[in-house]
Amino acid sequence: MQCNFVIPGDIVGAAEEFMPGEGTYVKGEHVRATTAGVKEIDSKERSAKVLPRANAPVKLEKGDIVVGQITDLKESLAILRLAFKRGRESRPIHNTEALIHISRIKDSYVKEMRQALGLRDIVKAKIIDDTPTIGLSIVDDDLGVVKAYCTRCATPLKLEGKRLVCPECGQVESRKLSTDYGTGMIR
Ligand code: ZN
């Protein structure tokens, strides 16, 4: 494996042989690494990529889709602890907080945070600000709550039609849902 480790600028493969994938660029006749990591050649798809070292911190940028858990709800802000970035599910994000402002939940007016988000909910969101804190939006249809917990008994809520129902205590709740809700997937 040692020989598969590359640093930025290293040749990963021949440009005429491989499509440049993630972590690479083409310069002249070669596909080269943009990042330090492990090179991976897919001879079937004829692509070359460089996967960053597993212990490297996950880089978060505007436009990234992330998943996190709500740790606090305030009048006009939800605070999340980020868990991972889409496409980097195997590499957890550590100790990173992000915020969702009440104006970034829906296109339409949201009167109360608690109508759209609940404590401990798992949320899929897009990064729209990265300084000084990470700001998120869940306005798009595929963004929003992907798993919600009953505010009365903490059981995961089930989507029945357009209603979120607690299978344990019967409580009916509302959230700004992602179209991924209940699928068990982050698409
Ligand atoms: Zn319940």
pLDDT of residue 25: 93
Domain with 98, as residue range(s), is 65-173
pLDDT in the model for residue 132? 86
Report whether the peptide linkage leading into residue 132 is cis, meaning its omega lies within 30 degrees of zero.
Answer: yes
Same domain, 95 and 134: yes
CA nearest to 126, candidates 78, 181, 67? 67
Phi-psi region of 23 (alpha: psi -120 to 50; beta: other; left: phi over 0): left
Assess whether 142 and 94 both reside in one domain.
Answer: yes
| Overall domain count for the chain | 2
Residues 101 and 164 in one domain: yes
Residues with C-beta atoms within 5 A of ion ligand 1 = 150, 152-153, 155, 166, 168-169, 171
Same domain assignment for residues 77 and 147: yes
Q: Could you report the per-residue pLDDT of 113-137, keeping only the tens digit for each?
A: 999 999 999 999 999 999 889 999 9
pLDDT in tens, 71-117: 999 999 999 999 999 988 877 787 899 999 999 999 999 999 999 99
Tell me how far apart the alpha carbons of residues 50 and 186 are, in angstroms, rounded to a whole number: 23
48 and 140 in a common domain: no
* Residue 76 CA to ligand 1 centre (angstroms): 25
Is residue 186 included in any domain, yes or no? no
Q: How far is the CA of 131 from the centre of ligand 1 (A)?
A: 37
For residue 36, the SS3 value is coil
User: Side-chain half-sphere of 97: how many Cα atoms within 13 Å?
Assistant: 9
